[in-house]
Structures are given as C-alpha cells and as structure tokens.
Amino acid sequence: MIKACVFDVGNTLVDDANSARIALQNLATWLKRRGIFEDERTFIDAYKGLNRCLHRPHWSHTFGELELFEKTLKALEIKNVKPSEALNMYRQSLEDGTRPDPDVTDALRFLRERGIKVALLTNERSERIKMFIKRTKIGNLIDATVISEEVGVEKPRPLMFKEVKKKLNVQFPAMIMFGDSEIADGAGKKLGMKFVLVKAYKDPEWNWSQGPAFSPDCVIEKVTRQNLEKCLEALKASALVTFPIR
C-alpha cells in the first residue's frame, strides 16, 4: 500500500529549463538596454556554456549562482555591471515568473484526499525552494521538504532518500519517487522505493547527476490528478504504462 509520494521539483513539478531561459533572456534584454552589448545572444550563449560545464555541490542551475555570473561577465570583459546585480535581476525575473500550476495543486490535493503523505526531495538551494513553495502556494499540501543544501549531499546519494523516510515516517516500499532523472531520482529504487519518471519537462542537458540509471516502474507525462490516479492503480497492478498529457 502506498503511503507517501515524493516529488523532485525542477523539471518535474515545474519546467526549470524554460523558466531559466526566460529569466536569462529578460536579463540579457536589460543589459542590452543599458548599452552593455548589441547582441543579446552574446551574453546568453556565454552564460549557458558556463552553466552547462560547471557544477558545484548544491548549486541551483535554475536559481543562478554568483560564480556563474562572475565568470560570464569576466569572459565578456563587462566591468560596469556587478555580478551580484546581474544575479539579483535574474532571480527576481525567475521569481516573478513562478506561479501556481493548477494541475500540480490539484494532484497534491488528490493525494491529501487519499490520506497519502507528500514530500519534496530536491537537489537545490534552500532559498529557491522556499521561494517556489511560497509563490506556488502549495505549503499546506506538503508534509516534508528535503533539500540537498540542508542535508549536505545530493541525490542519488542514499542519505537524501533516508532523510525523507525519516521525516515522513514511512518505509521505502510504501513510497513512490516522482522525478525526471533516471539517475538522481531513480536511485531510490535501490532502497525499495517505486520510481515514476515524469517526462513533460525532461531535458537531457539539464542533468548534472552521475551514477547508474534506473528503469522506471511507471512513466507519466505530467503531474496531474488523473495521471497520479492512473499511476497508483498501475503500480498496484505492477504494470508499466505511459500516460499522455491531458
């Protein structure tokens, strides 16, 4: 019997790759208006290249990191804009674009109605997740939140999954991990969790996890009430199915 559903955040509950793209475009437009450069792509391409090849523990490639903006501005020899100013502008744009998703809210409410606990389990900065919860207004639908920056390790490390198990007080076989990464999120299968791959926002270039990939027990397009209901029934019957976006 399933007693808890655990969700990754980025590219699972929200389209991180697209959100970052919009925030970066808005920042590039702002910089262009200040006469920093003539072609916005100059900044966008430089930042995206560094963002893709650089990674540090608990970095948020969605929320932005000061080091990435420092390196980008230095590479482009831009000296009249402070990296902290660019980061703040970028993050404000990202926050402004973060809004409730009716499908996700309805899905989490459905789990509440079923008496199933809900948790977020994410490789992220605490500040970003707190902003996400506040802006999407889902705080009252979540029983636990486990963030890599606070735990000190990232998925696929077992400690991340063990931390959510402890907070929810639910055994691994009674938990489902929903995520877009067969590596980071799929690793819960080693501990006995079920793994559901969420495909709608999956981006092969938006993955910095290393390790073996795990096959999902179920595949859905997006987190919706209807898809969760079908998924729970499918897992109960031990079937592997794919559901279309509704």
Q: Measured over all CA atoms, what is the biggest interatomic distance in the chain, rounded to whole angstroms?
A: 61
CB crowding 41-67: b at 16 or more within 10 Å, else e: ebbbebbbebbeeeeeebbbbbbbbee
Q: Residue 245: its pLDDT value, please?
A: 37
pLDDT tens digit sequence for 213-238: 999 999 999 999 999 999 999 888 76
Beta bridge partners of 243: 220
List phi, psi (to 5°) of 106. -65, -35
Among the listed residues 33, 27, 32, the one whose alpha carbon sits nearest the alpha carbon of residue 47: 27
- Rounded to whole angstroms, how far apart are CA atoms 87 and 93? 10
CA triple 206-177-170, angle to 5 deg: 145
Q: Residue 246: its pLDDT value, please?
A: 37
Cβ neighbors of 117 (< 8 A, separation 6 or more) are: 3, 4, 5, 111, 143, 144, 168, 170
Q: Residue 238: its pLDDT value, please?
A: 63
Task: Tell me the torsion sign for CA atoms 133, 136, 139, 142.
Answer: negative
Beta bridge partners of 178: 7, 196
Cβ neighbors of 164 (< 8 A, separation 6 or more) are: 6, 119, 121, 144, 146, 175
Q: Residue 239: its pLDDT value, please?
A: 42
- Rounded to whole angstroms, how far apart are CA atoms 93 and 89? 6
- Rounded to whole angstroms, how far apart are CA atoms 180 and 141? 21
Q: Residue 205: its pLDDT value, please?
A: 82
DSSP assignment of 50-75: HHHH---TT--TTT--HHHHHHHHHH
- Rounded to whole angstroms, how far apart are CA atoms 98 and 130? 12
Q: What letter does residue 183 receive in the DSSP assignment?
A: T
39 within 8 A of 210, measured Cβ to Cβ: no
- Tens digit of pLDDT per residue, the chain (246 long)? 899 999 999 999 999 999 999 999 999 999 999 888 889 999 999 999 999 999 998 899 999 999 999 999 999 999 999 999 999 999 999 999 999 999 999 999 999 999 999 999 999 999 999 999 999 999 999 999 999 999 999 999 999 999 999 999 999 999 999 999 999 999 999 999 999 999 999 988 888 889 999 999 999 999 999 999 999 998 887 644 444 433
